[in-house]
Amino acid sequence: MKPDDTQGGTFTLTNVGTFGSLMGTPIINQPQVAILAVGAIKKRPMVLETEDGDVIAIRHMMYLSLSYDHRIVDGSLGASFLTEVANELERFDNKRAI
């Protein structure tokens, strides 16, 4: 990566999952403010709550990692942002009309 690659940018998204990694710890490319790493999507057993009680089901799971400059982003705001990104991905409908 060259300095010009991030010139004028504020946020980076990196996909460490393309290399098979479940998760990674991204490092901020200065002068950017934050970087979000997405890991590989893998099937995992999950406990789901139903009306009939808890069940174990197989679900596709992906880890997200967010690093940010604490001089600019408060920890609470960073955590809230990451939670909202996860919520949006969980609600994603690949059958929706474009």
Q: For residue 34, what are its two tokens? A: 């934050």
Residue 47 identity: V
Q: Assess whether 74 carries a catalytic annotation.
A: yes
Q: How far apart are CA 4 and CA 50, in angstroms?
A: 51
List 4, 54, 60, 70, catalytic entry: 70
Q: How far apart are CA 22 and CA 62, in angstroms?
A: 7
> Is-contact 52 29, C-beta < 8 A?
no
Q: Assess whether 93 carries a catalytic annotation.
A: no
Is residue 34 classed exposed, middle or buried when 0-12, 13-18 and 19+ CB atoms within 10 A define those classes? buried
Residues annotated as catalytic (active site), given as ranges: 70, 74
